[in-house]
Structure 1
């Protein structure tokens, strides 16, 4: 355990400071997370620290330090590409949509973007990205070198979060017992094992848009779009305008993304609702095949358009939506899914 000269753990010291309403610098936050991930921290201290941070409000410095602690313990993926895109969001919006960002990853791969998809089991959808990919025939439990081979040969690979962030298991019982979102819910999208350089990040809390973008900026992300729909969706919504904090050219800006201004008609969120694993997998496959029409395809086109802009594949989101439409129509996105499923099964056998 990380101890200070007086014999107290860095977590205990940080807990007292946060309870007193003080902000931690990045180093103090990093040391506190290191204690949590060591497995030696008392559950009461973990719960107190996460709760006090939540009540105070986590700062950019505190989240940055926590991300650095997680990145230091990650099981990495070495891709060796200049642009690496991830579409992982925080989850937790409770909207029950189908797996939009998972479908988007295959559209982007079909456009020639290198995609390192980071994900887990169910959070905001009824079925998580890992769950639906399994249903679609993709092995999610591949060793790092096998994931690299998938990314190299297919252009897209999946990294199952628990296999790369094993140290967070020490906080899992506390997180379940607390039953509310904590800083740890924000960390997943910022701790991509492949070191994603470009990210589309959907988050559950509109008040964190600027904070998450600023953390990504400090950590060296080259381009990012952090989004939250006015209807509460942690994706770019087709039912309402979406608030976005965009990181590019070394600065951040606030955008408002209206679907109809980007060539996508509005539709209610009920039109993009998910179901169980089999239903979500069937819907994702139908959208990627180009045979589906209507809101499920539209919301994938919209989010893929944003992701393609983030990945610097197009010069505008509107151009990205047009390219995504073409890739869905001609089946190129489905071909990427099928290729990943085949190769991952070969490598996992």
Structure 2
């Protein structure tokens, strides 16, 4: 099929238009990723999907279409996408949660793009997480440190181009969701944040269609996988390949917002080293890490997260 035929499927009008099947979506993505894809057809397809509303079969198919185009990466334990635009989020404390898991021997791959918001990439060095310039370098960093950040524009320039079309189209497209679902190293578990709550079940259902085993999706800080410690949080996803829903209790009695105005990434390094004593930020890190550990199958995830935090201080003292 051609890309125009997929556009026709979506845009025939009331009573005749329908959603794409998973196979059709996989093929449509293959066509959109080609350098000779007609920009008019790409824009039409993305905006028709935007108006209709995405379904799990489409997201699963689009994601599989991108996955088939990626260079191979070494196996990791946890996939950690970061694609939020930064609204309502302050410093990216969740980066320390990812580093905490890596300190326990879990191989963690972060990947992402955050538009004009530079907080995540600006915080990586302070959080002790190296950025890979190539997929091969990501593999070396994972072997050396157990964690790496792979920018989307390095991971998939073609998908990055589709994501960047938001500037021309003026609206979010399904590509934002596909990026979160990408799991480029085929990790056994993934943790995802969303800004709009309706996407939690969409992403969980798409993951089930792709045969994933473990996933946690929350409405997190600014759309990232970052748990607000003073709020009760609803979690969705998969456990053992089966649908999972849970309610995560608040961890601290506080009225502080995640975006408290702090912008200096040096605070990340200071919290990790112990130079900064910030109970709220520490609970952001521990609560986020605990849910990630639970996704990996740790039945005592809260206790493990606290032990890892304490062990990190012990290692520093030694």
Shift of 1:15: 1.5
Q: Deviations over 1:278-307 (max 9, x none)?
A: x12x02112222333222222111101111
Q: Does 1:259 align with 2:250?
A: yes
Q: Structure 1 pair 18/88, CA: closer, same or farther in 2 (3 Å)?
A: same
Equivalent of residue 227 in structure 1, options 204, 218, 231: 218
Q: Structure 1 pair 180/239, CA: closer, same or farther in 2 (3 Å)?
A: farther
TM-score normalised by the chain length of structure 2: 0.87
The root-mean-square deviation of aligned C-alpha atoms, in Å, is: 2.6
TM-score normalised by the chain length of structure 1: 0.80
Which whole-Å CA distance do the structure 2 matches of 1:172 and 1:326 have between them? Answer: 40
Identify the residue that residue 9 of structure 2 maps to in structure 1: 17
Q: Deviations over 1:92-138 (max 9, x none)?
A: 46113211332211111112211122223456xx4243333256676
Which whole-Å CA distance do the structure 2 matches of 1:133 and 1:270 have between them? Answer: 18
Which whole-Å CA distance do the structure 2 matches of 1:331 and 1:203 have between them? Answer: 34
In structure 2, list runs of 5 or more residues that go unmatched: none
SS at match of 1:184: helix
Shift of 1:163: 0.9
For 1:166-185, list aligned pairs within 5 A. Answer: 166-172=157-163, 174-185=165-176
Q: Does 1:319 align with 2:312?
A: no
Identify the residue that residue 199 of structure 1 maps to in structure 2: 190
Which whole-Å CA distance do the structure 1 matches of 2:88 and 2:200 have between them? Answer: 18
Q: Does 1:302 align with 2:294?
A: no
Which whole-Å CA distance do the structure 2 matches of 1:270 and 1:194 have between them? Answer: 30
In structure 1, list runs of 5 or more residues that go unmatched: 336-349
Q: Deviations over 1:167-213 (max 9, x none)?
A: 22442553211232211001122213222211111112211111101
Q: Structure 1 pair 109/253, CA: closer, same or farther in 2 (3 Å)?
A: same
Name the count of aligned residue pairs.
312
Identify the residue that residue 267 of structure 2 maps to in structure 1: 283
SS at match of 2:216: strand
Shift of 1:45: 1.9
Which whole-Å CA distance do the structure 1 matches of 2:165 and 2:135 have between them? Answer: 28
